[in-house]
Structure 1
Amino acid sequence: MQPTRITELRFEPLDLPLTEPFAIATGAPDMANNVLVRLTLADGTVGLGEAAPFTAVSGESQASTLEALGSVREAMLGKDAAAWRPIGAWLGEALPKAPSARCGLELALLDALCRHHRMPLATFFGGAGTGLDIDMTVTAGDEAHAAASARAIRARGIRTLKVKVGALSPEEDVRRMVVIRREAPEARLFADANGGYTVAGARTFLSGLEAAGIPLALFEQPVPREDWEGMAELTRSSRVPICADESARTVKDVVRLAREGGAHGVNLKFMKSGVGESLAMWNAARAFGMELMMGGMVESTLAMSSAVHFAAGLGGFDYADLDTHLFIREHAFRGGLRVEGGRVDVGHIEAGHGVVLD
């Protein structure tokens, strides 16, 4: 038997309490109800993966993810992990509505394969680099919450703040941005509406920021995923770069956005697309000259470390929104990415993503 044949596949709930609710325009979970995937190869190598379903974004839940994983478990056994791209393509057909489940399997598979070959994931993905400068999120809330969050992020040494907007009115969100600017005057500011505005609301928000003298470096997913015309309209008229997130789940989405002028850039996330599809999206975005962000759902250090390997190893990313592990109150992992101020690095990792169960 090939040493990289899959001989065992296990998965279980991974419930991670958060330091605060991760509030966005469409939801505010106070617990990350994720799934841990363990995959064993014939030579005994074990790889770990994480599925982080976010119901408000993809419609998935922990229960549906466990069910999806169970439906493909027997078919995964006996496959050769070395054929990870064909396996990923097959998973896309078998689990079309369960991207986080697919991602958990792909991450475990790649971790095992790279541990077998004693290769870090960043090297596997291309070796362009090992570190990234990250932002940190100010979740949706009132002005007092925004001020406290900005102070706390600034104290960490992080100089880029990504502010969740769209849960309140554009005028209220402008006031939150003013407060944040006052607390962190040197910070670079992003805004992420998660599809919470209309075109008119997005314009009100942008004009309000301009009137208040608040510079915005990036505006992410201002209108709902299905409003392709609205995305294009804002991209044509906005002085601020527009980044697609929910509107960019597949390589076909990226191609459509590029051809229709629907965004200046795209946010890649393992949990909404899977690893193989994210790689295809990276290639398409690069070919069309679009900006790139690497982001995540509410993921622990396991999936976040994998995302750092991917983005740093491939290179070409303009933004790194890889902070959700900083919102996890406690977990059962050690190893993985290292954080120093506003920079994450995986250069010390010798094999796989570097995360193990503690």
Structure 2
Amino acid sequence: MLEQIASQGFDALPELIRIVINTAMQAERQKYLRAAPFEHSPERQGHANGYKPKTVKTRLGEITFDIPQVREGGFYPEALEKGLRSERALRLALAEMYVQGVSTRKVKAITEQLCGVEISAMQVSRAAAQLDAVLQEWRERPLGEIRYLYLDARYEKVREASQVRDAAVLVATGINPEGERLVLGVSVSLSEHETHSLRDASRWRAFLQSLKDRGLHGMRLIISDDHAGLGAARRMVFGSVPWQRCQFHLQQNAGAYLPRQAMRIEVAADLRAMFNAPDRKGAEELLQAAVQKYAKSAPRLSAWLEDNLAEKFTVFDFPLEHHRIIRTTNFLKRVNKELRRHSRVVGVFPNGVSCLRLISALLMETREEWRIGKHDCAGKSFEC
């Protein structure tokens, strides 16, 4: 490959990509069949059935790949499909900015570089419709039994009625009884007809109800931060399911009640000791000790600890081996970090639909990555 690049320069790249992807797809089919070519194995779960050509338009031009086929069907190589949805969504977001006249010269240059040609409104509309149909089907797919439900919210900048506004992006993930992490749903909403608190509660209620209507059931615990409006919505839709506030954010919130920043390390250590206690009794004893300890030196902190922490020990009602997984929303925060990395490229979305498209495509790929990768909770029983 290096020799080809040295002799042909970038002209060699399409052929090299074709060879690498074809080889990866062959390896993926072999793994799927659980048998090498012509191998007789009791673990074999299908038979190879040749190849089918498929031409894909890339930034290096059109490349024709050889798609491995399986006689029994049901196989399509991730090596080719992976990444295409999110890249298309990103292209569309940038293209819409250009078409709707809200882009800069830099954005115009990016769209032409990504897509290879100038973008027309008709091309953008046609491509968006194709992708939106796939993403909507994924967002509305039926759900099943979930043991632990994680909820989080973030905001993206969206242009609406000639104004740049914040759009709430609500994301739900979960862990099923087999220990698999799942992306369950996403919602992007703008509202201007209600007060702030009612708007937040309405968003969360509609989102949670949509999860329930799609068949979500079996939850033992909901884990989230104390988002505005979520408490009322959670009690209305999933009133019988206990709630655990994210202990990481709870520890961060304690900083607002410190009389001196020099106390931060000491208070953080006391909170970690409570959260890492082996049982509820031990955590409550440590809490009472901390309340008394800071009664004089930090009375606001002492009162906050007494009023807010006791009911946040729900995690101790669950198996000890699950505590690390259910006491924070950290793995969902990692998902949001990846979403932010991509959305930052767009900056201000031209509309809410564009924002939902990119976030949905990225979350769909996150689910696929979890499916083929290792799980933080693999091997654990969630029949609690």
Same fold (TM over 0.5): no
Please state which structure has a larger fraction of its residues in helix.
2
Highest CA radius of gyration, 1 or 2? 2
Q: TM-score, normalised by structure 1?
A: 0.29
* TM-score normalized with structure 2 length: 0.27
Relative contact order, higher structure (CA 8 A, sep 6+) = 1
